A and B are shown apart, each in its own frame.
Chain A
Amino acid sequence: MIKVMRALLAIALAVGLGALFPSASGATTKANAELTVSAAASLTDVFPVIADAFTKRFPNTVIRFNFVGSSTVMNQVIAGAPVDVVATASEPTMQIGVDSKQVLRPLFFARNSMTIAVPAGNPANIKSLADLQRSGLLLGVCDTVAPCGASAAELFAKNKLSVTPVTRELDVRSLLGKVISGDLDAGIVYITDVKAAGSKVEFVEIPIKDNVMTIYPIAMVAEAQNAQLANRFVKFVRFSNTSQGILRAFGFAKPW
């Protein structure tokens, strides 16, 4: 009985540790090269598609993703998370990693801008940025700790808007979810997020001259398990026509 329990405990521990450190559980998988990519939440839809293209080009590679807020991406790497490549939705966030010597030579690979997401049918009838100042409107933004929130704050300042959001979500996905569900009348999100959500959500365009641009850097982690593969993935995302084509299809603009 005790033996059985011990065995069970060992299995539970192994499984638990394996889940915690995916790149450390190499013994259970084939001789595949593994790459762990930690990326900003706004890359959730496009990166798996790029990864598919990458693994077609370089078979026997397995790419694992960790999509969280940009600041969490960097916090986790600085805290020593076993990650090979990081991509954030903000240059200053990436710079923190560069300054602490945790990431090497970031490359800008995409640009994004903001839009006003509204539930299907636009029930609050929002037509422009100025409409966001209407009292009683349930407007959601990201918290300023997240790039989508910093961009929203910049957007309001640039257009001299006085708005009273009802929530500051910690990542753009949860914000968009509450717009899609109709619990918010409007949310300031990336244009790529509304493109990815398809017909579930509508958006009101912000003219380029009033809009705020976000630039996306990608970089290899200094202590990457597989430096060669990490470097290859970073270059692929930035320079390959395949990757840039996919980025365009998802609404990202050129970084140059």
Chain B
Amino acid sequence: MALVFLMVPLIALIAQTPWEAFPKIISSPEALEALRLSLLTSLAATALAAVFGIPMAWLLAREVLPFTGLMRALVIVPLLLPPVVSGVALLEALGRRGLVGGFLYDNFDITFPFTTIGVVIATTFVAMPFLIITLEGGFRSLHQRYEDAAATLGAGPKRIFFRVTMPMVAPAAIAGLVLCWARALGEFGATITFAGNFPGVTQTMPLAVYTALESDRSVAVALSLVLLVVSVGVLVALRGRYLQTRAS
């Protein structure tokens, strides 16, 4: 039952795809622009999430800081929030009259809403928790004795982290990065709320789908199919993690 419920809409999407017009729709300047922007912003968001999220995941897993439980809960909050709420929160924080954004605008003339950087900020906010949570699990399942052994052999902390810890959690790291990227690619609510909707600047694929839905449904369906193919691609890339049966 559950499987049918989950599959039917996807099958309907494929069935409704206007195959004849498909090449023309996805090669239109608007669609290519949206695709380019989506790839750019989702990769940038993943990179940012990696830079800030990997250390955070390690700190959480090793419980080196006080209040680790509370910090973990705070990291998960954006994951549970409706994305539109995240967008509103970002506006309150980084908008031109926001808590931090007001200071940046008044002193440095920096604004984030309606810019591509705004899209990256919104998607990073929503997607980073996926990386942190996945990777924290990886760090946790890695026994500390490997790091200790490396230390007794004379390796410094930096060397241990990059030569011992990271290679051993590579599967979790890759899974986390891919999940984070897929979430960033699909991000809609926070983006349209915080960064607005302008072709070539902030109109990513999901926003293009939503905008097209208002005028031409077949365009929306064709663009949706592109995102569906990407999602399936992610699943194939992660097959080791989700398609394996435990009994084997």
Contacts and interface: CB of A to CB of B under 8 A. Distances in A.
A138 B192 contact: no
B214 A140 contact: no
A183 B96 contact: yes
Interface in B179-211: 192-193, 196-199, 201-203, 210-211
Nearest to B203: A168
Interface string A173-187: 010001001111000
B95 A170 contact: no
Interface of A: 69, 71-72, 75, 138, 140, 143, 145-146, 165-170, 174, 178, 181-184
A184 B96 CA distance: 8
A75 B218 CA distance: 13
Interface residues of B, number: 22
Contacts of A168: 196-199, 203, 211
Given A181-B97, A183-B97, A166 B201 contact: yes
B114 A166 contact: yes
A167 B97 contact: no
Contacts, number: 61
Interface string B109-150: 001011000000000000000000000000000000000000
A166 B117 CA distance: 13
Given A69-B214, A75-B213, A138-B111, A181 B91 contact: yes
B215 interface: yes
A16 B214 CA distance: 26
Contacts of B113: 178, 183
B95 A143 contact: no
Interface centre among B91, B97, B114, B214 (most CB of A within 10 A): B214
A183 to B, nearest CB: 5
Contacts of B203: 168
Interface string B83-106: 000000001000111000000000
Given A167-B114, A181-B95, A183-B96, A71 B214 contact: yes
Given A69-B214, A71-B214, A181-B91, 17 more contacts: A75-B213, A138-B111, A138-B114, A140-B114, A168-B203, A169-B197, A170-B192, A170-B210, A170-B214, A174-B192, A178-B91, A178-B113, A178-B196, A181-B96, A182-B97, A183-B96, A184-B114
Contacts of B211: 143, 145, 168, 170
B18 to A, nearest CB: 17
Contacts of A71: 214-215
